[in-house]
A = this chain, B = another copy of it.
Amino acid sequence: MTTDIFFQIVTPDEALARLYDRMAAAPRSQRIGLNDAAGRVTAAPINSPEDSPAFARSAMDGYAVRAADTYGATEALPAFLTVDGEVPMGAAATRPVQPGTAQLIHTGGMLPPQADAVVMVEYTQPVDETSVEVLRPAAPGQHVIQAGEDLAAGDELLPAGHQLRAQDLGVLAALGITEVDAASRPVVGVLSSGDEIVPVDAAPAPGQVRDVNATTLTALARQAGAEVREFGVAPDDRTELDRLTREALRASDLVVISAGSSVSTRDMTADVIAGLGQPGVLAHGIAVKPGKPTIVALADGKPVFGLPGNPVSAMVVFGLVVAPTIRRLLGARPADEPPRRRARLTRSLASQTGRIDFVPAALQQRDGEWWATPVLGPSNLVATLVRASGLIRIPLDAGGLPEGAWVDVEPF
């Protein structure tokens, strides 16, 4: 079996490197309207179709002037100019500024012919209805945004792989671009395994519990930019698990299986994943707590992840390996690590070097400082999932931490 060499615990980054080395990322794309484009990823660079601004504009409220008319102006010896009307907003400024004259202009107004500078209203003094004193000299081009200064036609506005933010959409709109080529959302197939798990809409018999992970992972996958297809729950039956997994693989670009909590379910899931296609399992076990029993595999070009059944573990591993792989399928640039909240521990925490530890925590602000209270214990599923609002991240090389220590907390 080709996968034997991979049966050592590796860091999440190493697991992803193995996957990305072997995975072709050629995202499909689709044309979408700007109104649907927030959060989507550009499938190709977007170039400016026109100069921006399209005409020379004033950057200030003031007077459009010939700079030469203001040379040497001071408060003691101002330049005296005749006010020759006002530049209309939203219309072409066609009337030239004659020597010795100025035209009132507003921010964003079009610079009239012959004018080459704007004097801020603060540096002028009205003399009467039709004349004004300029108290400072204006350099040519001062407070003028030249045509094409911001962006010339053909300039790259946005690269491929860029996740569109509100302001990107605004700028596209300003340039008259109302549709973009966006990466199609990859389809993530979500399934669960385990005899004790029943679907959410089923009534659990004694010994059974409803599936937490399908709902959680579906929401996380959508947040990461994917479309989700749910494939339900497979019982502890190799044939049935294999059938359902292959069905998910056929219909999806990426498959996530959260394994039930018994050893036999986990082994069976690992076995089924290993047999799905080439090259098979790339990592079995990652140096993360919780989340160690994670499987990262590639089956005939499609990533397959086996996640632990514990909901907190599944969430942690999803964030570490599945979400970045969805971004990669989208052709998106890797996300920057999000800013983390610095908080102090309300109690000491044990940790082990050689693995990344994540500890769910409730966060509270006291006297302007954030404090993190670890939520521990296997019994409080609800407390851990619902009451925690952060994940304390303890790096690979850190040991335990005393009460009061500063830690980095990720949103949870």
> B265–A89 contact, CB under 8 A?
yes
Query: CB of A167 within 8 A of chain B?
Result: yes
Q: Which residues of B are found within 8 Å of A385, using beta-carbon distances? A: 167-168, 170-171
Q: Which residues of B are found within 8 Å of A106, using beta-carbon distances? A: 261-264
Q: Which residues of B are found within 8 Å of A315, using beta-carbon distances? A: 166-167
Which of A199-207, A278-286, A395-403 binds B?
A199-207
> A107–B261 contact, CB under 8 A?
yes
In the bound complex, CA of A411 to CA of B157 (Å): 20
Which of A22-30, A73-81, A210-218 binds B?
A210-218
> B149–A178 contact, CB under 8 A?
no
> A169–B216 contact, CB under 8 A?
yes
* A195 CB contact (under 8 Å) in B38, B48, B88: B88
> A382–B92 contact, CB under 8 A?
no
Q: Which residues of B are found within 8 Å of A340, using beta-carbon distances? A: 339
Residue-wise interface mask of A (157-176) relative to B, using a CB-CB cutoff of 8 A (1 in contact, 0 not): 11000000111111111111
In the bound complex, CA of A150 to CA of B386 (Å): 11
What number of copies of this chain does the assembly contain?
A: 2
> A219–B169 contact, CB under 8 A?
yes
In the bound complex, CA of A368 to CA of B138 (Å): 44
> B89–A212 contact, CB under 8 A?
no
Q: Which residues of B are found within 8 Å of A201, using beta-carbon distances? A: 178
Q: Which residues of B are found within 8 Å of A220, using beta-carbon distances? A: 166
Q: Which residues of B are found within 8 Å of A253, using beta-carbon distances? A: none
Which of A2-10, A52-60, A63-71, A349-357 binds B?
A52-60
Query: CB of A381 within 8 A of chain B?
Result: yes
Closest chain-B Cβ to A139's Cβ sits at a distance in Å of 15
Q: Which residues of B are found within 8 Å of A336, using beta-carbon distances? A: 363, 365
Chain B, Cβ-Cβ closest to A155: B382
A86-145 contacts to B (CB < 8 Å): 88-93, 106-110, 143, 145
In the bound complex, CA of A106 to CA of B309 (Å): 13
Q: Which residues of B are found within 8 Å of A143, using beta-carbon distances? A: 378
Given the interface contacts A52-B381, A53-B209, A216-B169, does A261 sit within 8 Å of B108 by beta carbon? Answer: yes
A360-412 contacts to B (CB < 8 Å): 363, 365, 378-383, 385-386, 409, 411-412
In the bound complex, CA of A149 to CA of B336 (Å): 40
Query: CB of A223 within 8 A of chain B?
Result: yes
Q: Which residues of B are found within 8 Å of A213, using beta-carbon distances? A: 170
Query: CB of A61 within 8 A of chain B?
Result: yes
> A263–B170 contact, CB under 8 A?
no
> B380–A90 contact, CB under 8 A?
no
Q: Which residues of B are found within 8 Å of A59, using beta-carbon distances? A: 378-379
Given the interface contacts A89-B265, A209-B108, A383-B150, does A216 sit within 8 Å of B260 by beta carbon? Answer: no
In the bound complex, CA of A412 to CA of B212 (Å): 34
Q: Which residues of B are found within 8 Å of A227, using beta-carbon distances? A: none
Q: List 30 A-B contacts (CB under 8 A).
A: A55-B207, A88-B195, A88-B207, A89-B194, A89-B260, A89-B261, A90-B194, A90-B196, A90-B205, A90-B235, A91-B207, A93-B207, A106-B262, A107-B262, A108-B260, A143-B378, A145-B378, A145-B379, A150-B382, A166-B217, A167-B386, A168-B386, A169-B215, A169-B216, A170-B311, A171-B212, A178-B200, A178-B201, A339-B339, A339-B409
A residues adjacent to B (C-beta < 8 A):
34-35, 38, 48, 52-55, 59-61, 88-93, 106-110, 143, 145-146, 149-151, 157-158, 165-176, 178, 194-198, 200-201, 203-220, 222-223, 235-236, 260-265, 309, 311, 315, 336, 338-342, 363, 365, 378-383, 385-386, 409, 411-412
